[in-house]
């Protein structure tokens, strides 16, 4: 079993849809959880960063962590064509600084 | 704006010809990382520096080396590139747990 599992997609939705992206993990030591957005041929861009279970909201984005189920989610409301990208989840144990374990990424396509 | 800069953005090298990729940062972060990312795959950590302390991942080939002459700069040296080393190379920095990535250098090996 891989440490972090993420459905590669592609996930195709119409503009305005609510998008749900998910990752599961097996290492209970992971305490910090991040979502990165990566456009084609660009570097990953940090979108959301959470610590501990619960929700964190930033504009149209909500990150959710359920440590008991080892499951994290990213919700995108009112999706836009500009949201079309690959979304990578990443996580790390508490260590003072991070050595991240990434999921493979989910490709999201939002059509106008 | 504070940022992570990578040069060049695109690099073409010949099989076996040494190549150096560079990364600089204006964030004044103490940790710098090099990742390799192949198409449709997760970034794979090659090594990282915590200040001047070098940390190599166990499965990073000896063909890959790194130098960090000061806080702002970090270099990735590929001594004898093979066709399998064609990939996007990402530099990242962090102070705590949040990593910030540069735009990447896409390496082509002919």
- Written as one string, the DSSP assignment of B21-68 is EEEEESS--SEEEEEEE-TTS--EEEEEEETTEEEE-TT--TTEEEE-
- Tell me the β-bridge partners of B19: B78
The confidence score (pLDDT) of residue A54 equals 87
Cis peptide upstream of residue A10 (ω within 30 degrees of 0)? yes
Q: Which residues of B34-48 are buried (b: 16+ CB within 10 A; e: fewer)?
A: bbbbeeeebbbbbbb
Q: How far is CA B84 from CA A83, B39, B80, B105, in A?
A: 31, 12, 11, 16
pLDDT values of chain A reduced to their tens digit, one per residue, 112 residues: 678 999 888 999 999 999 999 999 999 989 999 999 999 888 999 999 998 788 999 999 999 999 999 999 999 999 999 999 999 999 988 876 667 899 999 999 999 9
The confidence score (pLDDT) of residue A77 equals 97
Contacts of A102 in chain B (CB under 8 A): 42-43
Q: Name which of A25-39, A88-102, B8-22, B57-71 the model is least confident about.
A: A88-102
- Averaged over B68-97, what is the pLDDT? 94
Contacts of A43 in chain B (CB under 8 A): 4, 6, 90, 101-104
* SS3 assignment, position A56: strand
Of the partner residues B30, B90, B94, the one whose CB lies closest to the CB of residue A43 = B90
- Band (pLDDT 50/70/90 cuts) for residue B2 is low
Is the pLDDT score of B15 beyond 80?
Answer: yes
């Amino acid at each position: 079993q891989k440490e972090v599992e993420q459905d590669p997609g592609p996930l195709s939705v119409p503009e305005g849809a609510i998008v749900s992206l998910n990752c599961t993990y097996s290492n209970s030591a992971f305490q910090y959880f991040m979502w990165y957005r990566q456009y084609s041929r660009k570097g990953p861009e940090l979108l959301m960063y959470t610590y501990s279970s619960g929700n964190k909201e930033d504009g149209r984005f909500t990150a959710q962590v359920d440590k008991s189920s080892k499951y994290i989610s990213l919700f995108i409301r009112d999706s836009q064509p500009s949201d079309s990208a690959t979304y990578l989840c990443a996580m790390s144990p508490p260590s003072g600084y991070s050595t991240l374990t990434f999921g493979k990424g989910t490709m999201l396509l939002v059509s106008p | 704006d504070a940022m992570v800069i990578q040069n060049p953005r695109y690099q073409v090298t010949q099989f076996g010809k040494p190549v150096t990729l560079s990364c600089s940062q204006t964030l004044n972060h103490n940790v710098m990382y090099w990742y390799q990312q192949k198409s449709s795959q997760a970034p794979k950590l090659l090594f990282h520096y915590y200040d001047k302390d070098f940390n190599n991942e166990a499965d990073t080939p000896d063909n890959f080396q790194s130098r960090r002459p000061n806080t702002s700069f970090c270099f990735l040296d590929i001594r004898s590139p093979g066709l399998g080393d064609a990939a996007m190379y990402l530099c990242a920095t962090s102070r705590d747990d949040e990593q910030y990535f540069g735009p990447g250098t896409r390496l082509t090996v002919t």
